[in-house]
Amino acid sequence: MENRQTRPIGIFDSGVGGLTVMRAIIERMPGEDLIYLGDTARVPYGNRGAETVRCYAVNAAALLERHQIKALVVACNTASAYGLAALRDKLSIPVFGVISPVARRAAILSESGSIAVLGTRGTIRSRAYQRALLELRPELDVHPVACPLLVPLAEEGWLDGTVTQQVLEHYLADLVPTEVDTLILGCTHYPILRDAIAGVTERLLTGPTTLLDSARATAEAVAQKLGDAGLLKETDAEGTRQFLLTDLPEGFVETAERFFGRPLQQECEHVDIVDTTGE
């Protein structure tokens, strides 16, 4: 039997946000070979219908399967909310979303039982984090906070400064009278705004708060499960990284490197995903 440990891990997102998840996976498991697929031709998924998103996710997974991946990480909140069940039905490899891992950590860590979820309008509307949290601890008090301007601010690199701080103060104002002690960064774009969010949170909220990002929590869940299954590559050598994109807009690499936190080094490769939504 072929050695499954040495196969790559596939990571799929609608755009660049998932690169924060890839970065967290590299930090946690530097030896793993990784293939990132960004569906930049169809980004953003947030406003698409559930059936469309499910179809996009299945088509993307089919492309990554041809690269003999040993596990799939759906590093996109919308695709995690709508596509995970369909992917687990279709694939015979472990499939990870970005929602459950961080929800589990938040449910364990919160002492006050009051948790805030920051996300895009689409993610908040899907109630995916709310459902995941209440399934784990039904008595939790969950405060959803839609933060639609954070993705454009992050993509434009406005990571700190008064504009971003004022936008955050606006979004987090409703949390002031609550007992929130745990904030979930429920969008793969938000880890690069972590310092700004921590600063405003500290200034606005009275008690100590914990910021949990889905990128790190997901990387930890992948490491745990692949470790338990004996699927981790045992090596000290740095793994390979590959970047597949369905569109290569100008300026992409600069934005991507902001999320990836390091130079991309490898060329980004253009790929087409078969679109079966109309079938």
Q: Which of 125, 137, 194, 258 binds a second copy (CB under 8 A)?
A: 125
| Closer to a second copy by Cβ: residue 251 or 263 | 251
What's the rounded Cα separation, in Å, for the pair 49 and 29?
34
Size of residue set near a second copy by CB under 8 A:
28
48 binds a second copy (CB under 8 A): yes
276 binds a second copy (CB under 8 A): no
Q: Which of 5, 137, 158, 257 binds a second copy (CB under 8 A)?
A: 158
DSSP line for the chain: ---GGGSPEEEEESSSTTHHHHHHHHHH-TTS-EEEEE-TTT---TTS-HHHHHHHHHHHHHHHHTTT-SEEEE--HHHHHHHHHHHHHH-SS-EE-SSHHHHHHHHHH-SSSEEEEEE-HHHHHHTHHHHHHHHH-TT-EEEEEE-TTHHHHHHTT--SSHHHHHHHHHHHGGGTTS---EEEE-STTGGGGHHHHHHHHHHH-SS--EEEEHHHHHHHHHHHHHHHTT-S---SSPPPEEEEES---TTHHHHHHHHHSS---SPEEE------TT-
118 binds a second copy (CB under 8 A): no
The distance of closest approach from Cβ of residue 20 to a second copy in the complex, given in angstroms and rounded to an integer, is 20
152 binds a second copy (CB under 8 A): yes
Give catalytic residue positions: 76, 187
253 binds a second copy (CB under 8 A): no
80 binds a second copy (CB under 8 A): no
Count of Cβ atoms closer than 10 Å to residue 43 Cβ:
18
156 binds a second copy (CB under 8 A): yes
Q: Which stretch binds a second copy (CB under 8 A): 22-30, 110-118, 158-166, 256-264?
A: 158-166
The distance of closest approach from Cβ of residue 269 to a second copy in the complex, given in angstroms and rounded to an integer, is 16
Separation of first and last alpha carbons in the chain: 37
47 binds a second copy (CB under 8 A): yes
148 binds a second copy (CB under 8 A): yes
254 binds a second copy (CB under 8 A): no
Q: Which of 65, 141, 247, 257 binds a second copy (CB under 8 A)?
A: 247
What's the rounded Cα separation, in Å, for the pair 15 and 4?
28
275 binds a second copy (CB under 8 A): yes
Q: Which stretch binds a second copy (CB under 8 A): 57-65, 66-74, 153-161, 257-265?
A: 153-161
What does the binding site for a second copy look like in residue numbers (CB under 8 A)? 40-41, 43, 47-49, 52, 121, 125, 148-149, 151-153, 155-156, 158, 162-163, 166-167, 170, 247, 249-251, 275, 278
